[in-house]
Structure 1
Amino acid sequence: MKHVYEIAVVHGDGIGPEVCAAAVEVVKAALGSGSPLRFTEHPAGAEHFLKTGQSFPEPTFQACRAADAILHGAGGLPGVVYADGTEAGLDFTLRLRFELDLYANIRPVRLFEGVQSPLSGVKAGDIDYIILRENSEGLYAARGAGALLRGEVAVDTLVQTRVGIERIVRKAFELARQSNGAPRDGVRRVTCCDKANVLRSYAFFRSVFDDVAKDYPDVATEHALVDAMAMHLVLKPGHFNVIVSENMFGDILSDLAAATVGGMGMAPSAEIGAANGFFQAAHGSAPDIAGKGIANPFGTILSAASMLDWLGLKHSDEKLSQAAERIRRVTQACLAKGLLSADLGGTSSTRQITHSVCDRLAAAA
């Protein structure tokens, strides 16, 4: 157990500073006096690029690498791009993923009481699964390394390695073992999502999945093609427990999944490796509502709870794990009582939500 945990805070762009500040305030309330976390702010993002010509300064990267955990708001702004057309603000997330080897992107998908799903007849408890996105390989590994030939032909390469697939698949089975199973039948199940019927790279992913699955006879397994999976997440979301997929597929499917549980404002994520952990909501910077005080902070708050969970497990610090559980319980209670932001059909402001969550945490303490 450590006495002080260094948390690198990067607010980012758009609504990033609003939701990130809310999450920091909630974590402090959950831990109370004598908090072992020390938060230090660092610059990065599209706004910083416009001011300085750098989207991710080297001192910020070094601080993130040295920190016990990284908490991020959101990155990127429309039209703020490099000469090749790629977004300047995305460098922060992508560089951390690849250079710190944050291979596991854990995206919980849960429908809370009080939040209306667009799916007919679906209620709280019916949707509760994890999309585990391989975070270091796949098609996105080609960023910055693809080829554009004479303005006529563009090529990006999809890369999958046995080591990369094995470790993300093992993480999927470990998560399933720790879970309560799928909502519909209680079965602990890992679903391999790929496009094995068309591309060798995905057939390879599936074959490695099948090999690893032999080590987990207590966990059910199945395969699903990605196009069919897009349908299944709408028609039978209660069937799923843990879904594991290649980088790009996991990115796309997790956005679809978020829409079934209230939208991107309810989409936390944890990106972890052997040494580092990076935590942010899966949503974008939403510059159209930035500064209006109506951004939904729940995704970032729940991401911060995952940060405490990860730190607590890594350092055998029960105080952090208990604080994470309190944040989730209070979040659930607030949503059930109708504390909803505009994107969820409510009228509560970012500050109202933050204060309510903090007040409940103080009362619980």
Structure 2
Amino acid sequence: MLAKYQVATIEGDGIGPEVCQAAVLVLKEALGEGIVSFDDFPGGATHYVKSGQVLPPDTFEACKNAHAMLHGAAGLPNVTYPDGTEVGNDLHLQLRFKLDLYANVRPIRLYQADFSPLKNRRAGDIDYVIVRENTEGLYASRGAGVLLRGEVATDTLVLTRKGCERIARFAFDLSRKRNGAPSDHKRRITVCDKANILRSYAFFRSVCDDVAKDYPDVSIDYSYVDAMTVHLVKRPEFYDVIVAENLFGDIISDLGAATVGGMGIAPSGELGDHHGLFQGAHGSAPDIAGQNIASPLATILSGSFMLQWLGDRHADPRLTEASQRVDRAVELTLAQGKTIPRDLGGLASCTEMTQAICRNLK
């Protein structure tokens, strides 16, 4: 029987194959037969070494035509372009720009109190989402900046009204689907910028203000990015959805992940109007590749996020229910305390984590 939805998987580099295969096993267990097919395609730094292509045309076509994309990890430090930038990063950057994946969504959730380096926190105290504009900002200069005579280097921060408006609307729409901030259960958008110093960020804030007029049920809040690094440590329970320019969103996402246990438990999705790419927020960790000690949690949670997105997009409750089951199985596995990955203080292997989650799915 032909599956209704096709997911293109790119296992990638380093620990990418291990964590991607683990996520697929969990998702198949949650879904059963005949709903989603997972088809693997080559790409990444390892494939570049073999073929000279980081994103082969056939892989791109498969991704463009699939219902969603699931990625392991990409990049190897010693595989670089002549300008010194890593080849592997170009995989998701090409997909990002070619498919206009303008919203980078990073859920930040504390599953167990002892995973956090913050004092006096309980499970659920931290539960917010960072929405990062993904196609503009300072990163729009990648490959287009100026290096003059080895003496002067410039990159340009680019923001458009269209880009700011659509990411703001995405953030407000997302808040409407959530239950508000843990501290007061209020739906709230926090605009993270540097509007007091740079005109570009003042423009970003002004567009967010314009969009907010269409969402009277969602309050709007503001934080300069330097203050945000303090607030995410001192009062993370205040936040519901945070919206930010590309660079700032990238930085605070890693800080947020650190407060709940690290990059190994941080899922992400890069979303556009028609396509979605899902992967753990961590890197390829080549130093531990092939040792079966990497945590698959971020990729499994990214896969669950993918099912939720597909379920919403296609109004298919089977996908939504499977996503909820995966989330509950992960939460139960961690709460039981017997199977914990190394990055969260345990000893469980990638295989053991995957098997424990599959058991709890049943």
Compute the TM-score of the two structures, normalised by the length of structure 2: 0.97
Letter in 2 for 1:156: D
Per the alignment, residue 64 of structure 2 pairs with: 65
Q: Which residue of 1 aligns with 2:118?
A: 119
Aligned pairs for 1:205-354 within 5 A: 205-338=204-337, 339-354=339-354
**What CA distance in whole angstroms lies between the structure 2 residues aligned with 1:109 and 1:227?**
19
String of CA shifts for 1:289-346, please: whole Å, max 9, x gaps.
Answer: 1111111111100100011111111111110110000000110000111121000000
Tell me the distance in 2 between the aligned counterparts of 1:308 and 1:340.
Answer: 24
Whole-Å Cα distance in 2 between the matches of residues 63 and 85 of structure 1? 29
- How far residue 3 of structure 1 moved from its aligned partner, in angstroms, is 5.2
Separation in 2, partners of 1:133, 1:162: 15
Question: Partners in 1 of 2:3 and 2:341 — Cα distance?
Answer: 36
Q: Note the alpha carbon deviations across 1:44-74, whole angstroms, 9 max, x for none.
A: 1111112222222121111111111000000
Distance 2:174 2:83 in 1: 38
The 2-side partners of 1:116 and 1:264 are apart by: 12
Bigger Cα displacement from structure 2, 115-124 vs 15-24? 115-124
- The one-letter code sitting in structure 2 at the alignment partner of 1:44 is G
Question: For residues 349 and 212 of structure 2, what CA distance do their matches in structure 1 show?
Answer: 46
Q: Which amino acid aligns with 2:303?
A: A
> How far did residue 114 of structure 1 move?
6.2
What is the letter of the counterpart of residue 148 of structure 1?
L
Residue 154 (structure 1) shift: 1.3
SS of 1:313's partner is helix
Count of residue pairs brought into register by the alignment: 360
Instruction: Indicate conservation of the 8 Å contact 2:101/2:276, yes or no.
Output: yes
Structure 1 residue runs without a partner (length 5+):
none
Q: Secondary structure at the match of 1:288?
A: helix
Segment of structure 1 superposing worse, 152-161 or 342-351: 152-161
- The alignment status of 1:200 with 2:199, answered yes or no, reads yes
Q: Point out the more displaced range, 149-158 or 272-281.
A: 149-158
SS at match of 1:244: strand
**In the alignment, is residue 25 of structure 1 matched against residue 25 of structure 2?**
yes
Identity %: 60
Q: Please list the CA deviations of residues 141-186 of structure 1 after superposition, one character each: whole Å capped at 9, or x if unmatched.
A: 1111111111111111111110111111011111111111111111
CA distance in 2, matches of 1:183, 1:317: 28
Measure how far apart 1:113 and its partner are. 2.6
Residue identity matched to 2:122: K
Contact 2:104–2:133 under 8 Å retained in 1: yes
**Cα pair distance change 1:228/1:126, threshold 3 Å:** same
Structure 2 counterpart of 1:75:
74
Deviation at 1:79, TM superposition (A): 2.1
Q: Retained in 2: the 8 A contact 1:138–1:248?
A: yes
Matched, 1:130 2:129: yes
1:167 aligned counterpart, secondary structure: helix
Q: Residues 122-201 of structure 1: matches in 2 within 5 Å?
A: 122-201=121-200
Deviations along 1:171-224, one digit per CA (max 9) or x if unpaired, are 111111111111111111100000111111101000001111111111111110
Residues 45 and 92, structure 1, Cα contact 8 Å, conserved in 2: yes
Do 1:76 and 1:87's aligned partners in 2 also have CA atoms closer than 8 Å? yes
Secondary structure of 1:126's counterpart equals: coil
Residue in structure 2 matched with residue 15 of structure 1 by the alignment: 15
Please identify, of 270-279 and 112-121, the stretch whose mean Cα deviation from structure 2 is larger.
112-121
Contact 1:14 1:285 in 2 (8 A): yes
